[in-house]
Structure 1
Amino acid sequence: MTVNETALPVTVALVSGPSGTGSIDDFELFYARRAVARFRERLGRQGLLDLLAADIEEGNAALRESARTSDGSFTGRTTVLATQGLTSGEFLGWMGKAFSDESVLLAAHPEHYSITDQEDGSVHVVENIGPHIASFYLGSWGAEAMTWAEDAAERLPEAEFPHKQATNLFLADGTIIGRVLIQFGDTADGFTSSLSVYMPTSCPDDVLEHHLRHFAIEFRNWITAAAAARA
């Protein structure tokens, strides 16, 4: 091959074999989810947290430093999902009940390690934020949590997106490492989800990018689970 020739991309197509529907990617996703679920079950929550203790310490330290060097300033970006065949009210009703079942919450993303309610109304979460495994808290949803979001550029009109929830993401020492503003509005055939995440401005761009992907995965899975529960 000469320097002027371009190598053709290598592709692999499934011609025959499995009788079930789906692509090779679909098959791999099924088995990956099954493997992750097995490890979670065998290790248990505390075993998993013990295994990740060093990663959590490192991840929290990196996010704490980003918060310190950003001096309270944040950069936000938004993932938008369009759903057909389900209303926002149906989804949010299901979601409210789902928070009492950790297994449902964990199943939405392979990098969910622990999601548990706390006595003070907050939620303790251990998951990836970008490349970092972090242990943090979501403040209670509600009017007080929405205060900072009143002036957010990503805030959408109440008439079109009446369902709004906002919270800070904070470490055990109170350091705010991020923010979330999620908004839902019904459409003619379903609803739209506007999912905004804010990270300290000194965080690398890929931290935000990966959390936008994280949002897409977990909310798609929660929405399809809500639809399945309704059927």
Structure 2
Amino acid sequence: MSKFNLDIQINGQAVDRVTLLERELERAYVALEQFKSKLGHKGLKELFKDEIKQSDDLLWNASQNNDYVSAETFVNVTGMKTDEFLTTFHHFQETKMWAAHPEHYIVDGKRGCQDVMETVGHFGGPCLFRIYYVEKFTDFEPPFDPEFPKRLLGDIELISGGKIKMRAMHQFKDTEEGMLVKLNIVFPKNLPAEMIENHKWHLAIEFKNWLTLAYNAIHAK
């Protein structure tokens, strides 16, 4: 018997696996957006209330330890500068915030903060937290890289109550061709190691999409 293989054709033209996967992913995001829009914020919170409690408890209990660990991802961007991206990013509507990652359930922007329901580190179910965008941290002194002068910083607290030791600490540096980005979420150290490691992939996925959406929005004007 021959080795398993698929040869797909549409309108007489061969369709390669990558093209098919891209189309599948596109339709999956459309289905997710319909699902999230239909349920709404209230419906999503009710549907996942047990998972939210479990994830919130995990983050809260881990935050009783004073040690930190970073989940870092680096991006080299050409064709767009830091200010262009940040200005566009801060004007994204919720559907674009959803579109950045399949595990973004709610990203509800308010003045100076966002309510977020997402699965952190591809681990377990979603948690529900609020991120406050700040100029600097008042109770935390992270080792910023002085070569990356522009920052997107966020203090995070659980909506169920209580500030946790989890912070957004993204740094940007313009280059001749675009920018370098150091993405970083600081976590309590005693969370599961796979959760920390997988959140590096979460950052890569969401910022790949946000950066692409921002670039397309800028050049559509």
Deviation at 1:177, TM superposition (A): 3.9
Partner SS, residue 148 of structure 1? coil
Corresponding position of 1:138: 131
Q: 1:49 aligns with which of 45, 48, 52?
A: 45
Q: Where does structure 2 lack aligned partners over 5 or more consecutive residues?
A: none
Identical residues among aligned pairs (%):
27
1:89 and 2:83 correspond = yes
Q: Which residue does the alignment assign to 1:156?
A: 145
Q: How does 1:120-199 map to 2 (within 5 A)?
A: 121-130=112-121, 131=123, 132-143=125-136, 145=137, 148-149=140-141, 151-152=142-143, 155-157=144-146, 160-172=147-159, 173-199=161-187
Instruction: Return the letter of the residue paired with 1:73.
Output: D
Measure how far apart 1:146 and its partner are: 6.7
User: Runs of 5+ in structure 1 lacking a partner?
Assistant: 1-9
Counterparts in 2 of 1:148 and 1:207: CA distance versus 1, 3 Å: same
| Of 112, 115, 118, the match for 2:107 | 115
Distance 1:209 1:36 in 2: 25
How many residue pairs end up in the alignment? Answer: 211
On the 8 A contact 2:71/2:199 being kept in 1, the answer is no
Structure 1 runs of 4+ off > 3 angstroms?
10-16, 18-22
Letter in 2 for 1:24: L
Greater strand proportion = 2
- Report the residue type matching 1:89 in the other structure: D
| Distance verdict in 2 for CA 1:129–1:177, change over 3 Å | farther
| 1:25–1:67 distance in 2 versus 1, CA, 3 Å | same
Corresponding position of 1:103:
95
Per-residue CA shift, 1:143-190, capped at 9, x if unaligned? 3x37624x42xx212xx3221122222213223141221011111211
What's the RMSD between the two structures over aligned residues? 2.2
Using the size of structure 1 for normalisation, the TM-score is: 0.82
Alpha-carbon distance in structure 2 between the residues aligned to 1:178 and 1:87: 27
